[in-house]
Every structure is written in C-alpha cells, then in structure tokens.
C-alpha cells in the first residue's frame, strides 16, 4: 500500500494509507480555506472508494469522489490498477 499525492480540482490531495495488507482505507488531506483538512475514503465491496465523512470534506470536492477513487486504484497499491 502506498501513500501518494495528486493534483485535481485545482488542489493537491495527499493520500495516506490506513492498512498494510490491502487497499481499503485512506486518510485524505487537502488545503482548504488556508487550513489542512482531512477526510477519509474507504473501499466499497465492489472495489470503488467513497468519501466516508462528507461533512468533513469541503463541499466543492464531493464531485471529485469518482476521480479520487480512480486515483487510489492506480496509485494506492492495488494489484491491478484500472484506467481513469
């Protein structure tokens, strides 16, 4: 499992893995309003990731949930990355 950063929606997102055996849960950090904000993304049974605590994630980034999920599949250490 890997930590990584991506640029999306005009911001840099930093993904910190919470598991060492499988890609399941990430802490995600983004600068918003001059503060470093943290929210979590977790795997669904189908392998996609979703924002678990939408009230902690800045509203303008909710629309990027699918893109962030795809980034986790590619850069987070999944066995077989999928295309964005």
* Tens-place pLDDT, residues 30-63: 999 999 999 999 999 999 999 999 999 999 999 9
Please check whether residue 83 lies inside any domain of the structure.
Answer: no
How does DSSP classify residue 46? Answer: T
For all residues of the chain together, what is the average pLDDT?
A: 89
Judge whether residue 9 has pLDDT over 50.
Answer: yes
Residue 36 has a pLDDT of 97
What pTM does this model have? 0.85
Contact by Cβ (8 Å): 33, 26: no
Sheet with 11-17, strands from edge to edge, namely: 4-8, 11-17, 25-32, 35-43, 49-51
Residue 82 covered by a domain: no
Domain total for the chain?
A: 1
User: Would the pLDDT of 83 be above 50?
Assistant: no
Task: Determine the structural domain holding residue 58 and report its residue range.
Answer: 4-75
């Amino acid at each position: 499992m890997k930590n990584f950063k991506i640029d999306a929606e005009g911001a840099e997102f930093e993904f910190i893995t919470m598991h060492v055996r499988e890609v399941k849960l990430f802490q995600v950090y983004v600068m918003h309003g001059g503060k470093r904000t943290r929210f979590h993304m977790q795997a669904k049974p189908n392998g996609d990731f979703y924002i678990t605590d939408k009230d902690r994630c800045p509203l303008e980034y909710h629309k990027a949930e699918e893109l962030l999920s795809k980034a986790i599949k590619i850069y987070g250490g999944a066995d077989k990355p999928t295309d964005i």
